[in-house]
Structure 1
Amino acid sequence: MTREFYEAEPSPRTSWRLAVLMGANSRTYKFALASALLEFAAEGRAEVTVDELAVPYAMSLVARQQGAPQAPSGSLAGDKDFLTVARQEAAESLRSGLPTERLLDATRRSMPTMVMRRFHNLGASEVAHRFYESVGPPRRGTVRLTPHLHRIAGSEQAAGLRGELNARWDIVESSFAAGIGRSLVDHGVAVDWATLRLTDKHRRRTVTGVADALTGFQYGRCLICRSPLTDADRIAVDHVFPYSLMRRFGTVSGWHGPDLDVIWNLAPAHERCNGTKSARLPTSGELWRLARRNEAILLSPHPLKKTLQLALKGAGYHGRSGEWPDFLRQVLAACD
């Protein structure tokens, strides 16, 4: 299915989204590296030293670690573990605005041999586009930023890609904070319509924005018109099957379909497209795009995947690959 996600819109941006949104997350190192890479590419840098890359990488982890865990509890391996060093050096690093020498040394040792080797990996395969190449000794070498990275960093979706990255980082942190196997994984996330943010239902805490969390699985495009969602656009969250169906059927014989107010039925869209669509039923094209989007979410690690499964448990959807089109047709039939 990752191949299908890529082939539907083959581009460096899709490769980037595969790496960031759908790769395994045992720690958050991938997000820190992605953030640092985007920062240097946006500056137009063709190459950076490992030392230069280590600074924003380490500082973003230190800053994040102050408010949320960057790995599951019990996964740290004593005083030499990188995140242990980062925690111990956090106060001084944040005070000075630069990593301490001890933290910088730990970053030089861990970053090239861990996350930089694995960033492009997708299990048994790699993404189609590489975003950097390492040259020279791992700890003292150079990192060459590829044209693919410069292309996405300078694209009209650059701000959106950073938003997607931060949203995924927020979601993974929340999973670690709750404990993998409990809370978010058991309960999924809910939508707070007052703020348009996803919340941890178990701990009742905000996780991240709905649009940022879902847009990448739609290739950064409006589900309605298929044009890119850019930083200049006003973004809405559309109920693909209008929520008014539940109210309308509720006044007659009751709505017998699935809950329409959860993420399987929510899609970022241009505000103008959402306003024009209003309460109409989805077109066949919109249903196809929603099915493909939801299949992509099921490839991502918890908790979005679990949220979809929980929301539709007992509603005719069993979580099998390729089942979304038939399921959505059943929902459409329930609207007649």
Structure 2
Amino acid sequence: MTPFLAVQPTSHNQFRALMLFGRNVASYKFALAKALLEVARGGPDLIKLEELAGPYTRHLRTHLAQAAKQATSQSSRFLEACRGANAGNVSDDELQSITVSLGFNNVIDAFHRLGSQEVEQRFFLDERSTTAGIRITNALQALAHDPAAADLGSETEARWCLVETAWKLGVTSSLIAYDNESQAFTAADGSRRVAVTSARAALNGYQKGRCFYCFTPVTIEPGRLAADIDHVFPWALRLLLSGNPNGVWNLVLACRHCNRGSAGKFDCVPALELVSRLHRRNEFLITSHHPLGETLMAQTGSTSALRVTFLQRNYDAAKLARIIEWNAAIQHDAAF
């Protein structure tokens, strides 16, 4: 079990782990994840491959229109068929036939795999050899009907956008940056920066949909519990801090009570306990392979020991400026 799943290995978090920590050589996993959340909301539990092909290729075709590179391999007959459908050269029936024949060959086998192991929770059962389809489990149906499923879809989309952007631009992921005004992660494209994805959607999964400080459930969808983006080490102390305080390493999602409430953090120095928690959260990002992990290492150090020293140095500098620390009142069980 990964450190991410050592605490609260719920169905939500196992699904998140598959999107965040699985290795990506193609974007098929993201398309399948979004299609599964869609088909599990209604209808029978047995989904024929012909039925799954529609939503699966729809998500792939949408992304192909935005970023032509959706895999690290040089060629793919299945992706070429999706491109042909976008260009009007491949009919819907032809695309469905090619998808059933080629599009699910590896992604169904590998979907539940996390490194050398598989997650405990099964979100579907592979019945291709007996029914020419997959069978949606009760766990996935419950997940799809949970209001939090909207966040899972957004998190998957964010992860997908980050991965395909790195493939498209051929850049190292250390070039991923945060833009204050748009509250989005951006990437360098020649002499300009282009928006990649919402920072909220990219960060939420690593915090398991919880406030970084008090562990209250939050959402990245607009509404009462919508999360704020917060700098753990205050932006007001930026001239004293090592590294860019707008870096991924210093950004978390917080509930409005912790960020803006009468007893909120505001520009206070984070307690050392919170600095340790920030290190744990950052290690989640670093072990997620691509691309925010490499961004963090470029910002804070290539080894865990260097990253601990980096955070400690910033804590010491912040304490010299403002002696009083702030810590949150824990409202729920710790999520990480």
Q: Same fold (TM over 0.5)?
A: yes
* 1:84 alignment partner in structure 2: 80
Distance change (3 Å), C-alpha of 1:72 and 1:39: closer
The alignment partner of 1:274 has SS state of: helix
The DSSP-based 3-state class of the residue aligned with 2:75 is coil
Structure 1, unpaired ranges of 5+: none
Residue 280 in 1 paired to residue 272 in 2?
A: no
1:57 paired residue number: 56
Partner residue, 2:177: 190
Which of 307, 313, 319 does residue 303 from structure 2 map onto?
Answer: 319
Using the alignment, how far apart are the partners of 1:235 and 1:172 within structure 2?
24
SS of alignment partner, residue 297 of structure 1: helix
Counterpart-to-counterpart distance in 2, 1:279 and 1:20: 33
Question: Is contact 1:223-1:268 (8 Å) kept?
Answer: yes
Mapped partners of 2:302, 2:172: distance in 1? 20
Shift in Å, 1:306: 1.6
- Provide closer, same or farther for how the CA distance between residues 217 and 114 of structure 1 changes in structure 2, counting only shifts above 3 A: same
Identical pairs, percent:
32
Give me the whole-angstrom Cα distance separating, in 2, the residues matched to 1:325 and 1:155.
37
Q: Hey, what does 1:147 align to over in structure 2?
A: 138
* Structure 1 position 73, deviation (Å): 6.5
Q: How does 1:1-336 map to 2 (within 5 A)?
A: 3-43=2-42, 45-72=44-71, 75-77=74-76, 81-92=77-88, 100-137=92-129, 141-179=132-170, 183-185=171-173, 187-203=174-190, 204-230=193-219, 231=221, 232=223, 233-246=225-238, 250=239, 255=240, 257-275=242-260, 276-312=264-300, 317-320=301-304, 324-335=307-318, 336=320
**Superposition deviation, residue 326 in structure 1:** 5.0
Q: Is the 8 A contact 2:40 2:141 kept in 1?
A: yes
* CA distance 1:256–1:100, change in 2 (3 Å): closer
| Secondary structure at 1:42 match in 2 | coil
Classify the secondary structure of the residue corresponding to 2:134: strand
Deviation at 1:213, TM superposition (A): 0.5
Amino acid at match of 2:314: V
How many angstroms apart in 2 are the aligned matches of 1:45 and 1:258?
52
Of 207-216 and 271-280, the range deviating more from structure 2: 271-280
Query: How far apart are the structure 2 equivalents of 1:324 and 1:155?
Result: 37
CA contact (8 A) 1:241 1:265 kept: yes
Aligned residues between the structures: 311
- CA deviation profile, 1:141-193 (whole Å, cap 9, x unmatched): 131111221232223421111110110111111011112xxx243x4211111
Counterpart-to-counterpart distance in 2, 1:284 and 1:40: 45
* Cα separation, 1, equivalents of 2:241 and 2:30: 41
Would you say the 8 A contact 1:41–1:150 is kept in 2?
yes
Q: Distance in 1 between matches of 2:293 and 2:89?
A: 36
Deviations 1:23-67 (A, max 9, x none): 111110001100010001222642211111111001111121111
Does the CA contact (< 8 Å) of 2:27 and 2:71 recur in 1? no
